[in-house]
Structure 1
Amino acid sequence: MTRHRVDRSADLKTRIRGAAEDLFSTAGYASTSVRDIATAAGVDPSIVIRHFGSKESLFVETVRLHINERNVLSGPLDTVGRRVVQKIFTNPEELVRSRGAFAALLRATDNPDVRSLLTRELSASLITPIESRLPGPKARLRAHIFSAQLIGLFTALWVIEDPVLVNAAPEDLAAAYGHLLQSALTGALPAEPAENVTRAGAPPAA
């Protein structure tokens, strides 16, 4: 395959993904067809299927861009909570797109195929990366609680639109909610003495 064909293929995928994201955000998953996406992207429906396989896979691909937190999760473990919340407000344009993607995700979860794909993607992009960095026997539980708390914040901000949270200063929200997220990751659990919870890589107490 020539460089020109590779570039053209990448451009087509970007156009299709952008058109799909816009339609899923505004019309919802169920009301958006492959033909609708193809028309908005200016391509034949067969091109959409060739590049993404199915509408379900394309939907997950659009959501993946917004739930992939690997860059944030790879930083210092003891500041992950604050940094994840800060990232939400870093780019205003990305914030708008993430809000639309999350709303589309909630509307699509009644589809079992989509729900299964999203569960796997959430695990691969968010839960597994943070679980692998946590010490102790409760790492898996902590990672899932962390994920649930993060989804709760998205719901409060973008679905319920809690006025106090929506109008809060980003730095205040990052400090307060970041603390809750951090507690899920590295704080002492009720049945786990604080001295047994150590940071990843920290030497055990003498």
Structure 2
Amino acid sequence: MTDESPTRAERRTRSRQAILSAAQALFAERGYERTSIRTVADRAEVDPALVMQHFGSKDGLFASAAQGSVPVEGLIGAGREELTHALVHHVVDAFEDPEQRPAIEALMRSSLTHPVAGQVMRDQVMADAQAAVADTIGGSDAALRAALLNATMLGVAIGRYLLEVPALAAADVEDLERILTPSLEALAGPGGRSTGGRGPGVGRRV
């Protein structure tokens, strides 16, 4: 008779995922300041000590929850011809996915009001996206150009999804991309022009 009970490694993986899921939900519901290690542990039905064992601190937990909510694979895989399309959909696809949006909104709102959350957003979440874009752009000022591109899309996200500025909130994604593309191309600098989303990156979640 085969013993199908989970191994210690499997139990550890499951508990870690349960904690992360609970943390993402609570940070979305309550924000950074009103979410505690104990409330996360209660939601995940684990001992608070296990949360600390996995993540070290509330800051570490927030960082892991935030990183898991903002995938950057689409930006890492995008070539220069696909870059502006990937940048627009990096924001739009995430915010318009009902499963991802609560965690991403919580991250952004918290980062604007709490220093630790802001540091996590800047140094761990945004840094990965900016590094991917800078690598694609190349050149001596790639890091600055990538930061400006990131700041532009961050502003779009805040205006469209957090503040719900009427013209931005009501705009079709196609119109957003059409109007943003010349500005994004100018910030990206010399290189191949955008294909408007018809390159090999089309259809991937970013």
- The TM-score with structure 1 as length reference comes to 0.78
Distance 2:181 2:187 in 1: 10
Amino acid at match of 1:106: R
Spell out the pairing of 1:1-206 with structure 2 (5 A cutoff).
4-90=7-93, 94-95=97-98, 97-186=100-189, 197-199=190-192
CA contact 1:13–1:51 (8 Å) conserved in 2:
yes
Amino acid at match of 2:75: V
Please list the CA deviations of residues 71-106 of structure 1 after superposition, one character each: whole Å capped at 9, or x if unmatched: 333222122111232344447773553354234433
- CA shift for structure 1 position 131: 1.3
CA 89–126 in structure 1, closer or farther in 2 if over 3 Å, else same: closer
CA contact 1:24–1:101 (8 Å) conserved in 2:
no
Structure 2 SS opposite 1:161 = coil
Distance 1:178 1:143 in 2: 15
- CA shift for structure 1 position 34: 0.4
CA contact 2:70–2:104 (8 Å) conserved in 1:
no
- CA shift for structure 1 position 23: 0.9
Distance 1:84 1:5 in 2: 40
CA 99–128 in structure 1, closer or farther in 2 if over 3 Å, else same: same
Q: Which structure 2 residue ranges, 5 or more long, are not aligned?
A: 193-206
**RMSD of aligned alpha carbons:** 2.5
CA contact 1:135–1:198 (8 Å) conserved in 2:
no
Percent of residue pairs bearing the same amino acid type = 24
Amino acid at match of 1:119: R
Distance 2:93 2:111 in 1: 27
Amino acid at match of 1:173: L
CA contact 1:38–1:48 (8 Å) conserved in 2:
yes
Distance 2:181 2:13 in 1: 36
CA contact 1:99–1:158 (8 Å) conserved in 2:
no
Q: How many residues align?
A: 188
CA 115–93 in structure 1, closer or farther in 2 if over 3 Å, else same: closer
- CA shift for structure 1 position 172: 2.0
Distance 1:177 1:78 in 2: 15
Identify which range, 93-102 or 56-65, moves more after superposition: 93-102
CA contact 1:131–1:140 (8 Å) conserved in 2:
yes
- CA shift for structure 1 position 27: 0.8
Identify which range, 79-88 or 16-25, moves more after superposition: 79-88
CA contact 1:82–1:175 (8 Å) conserved in 2:
no
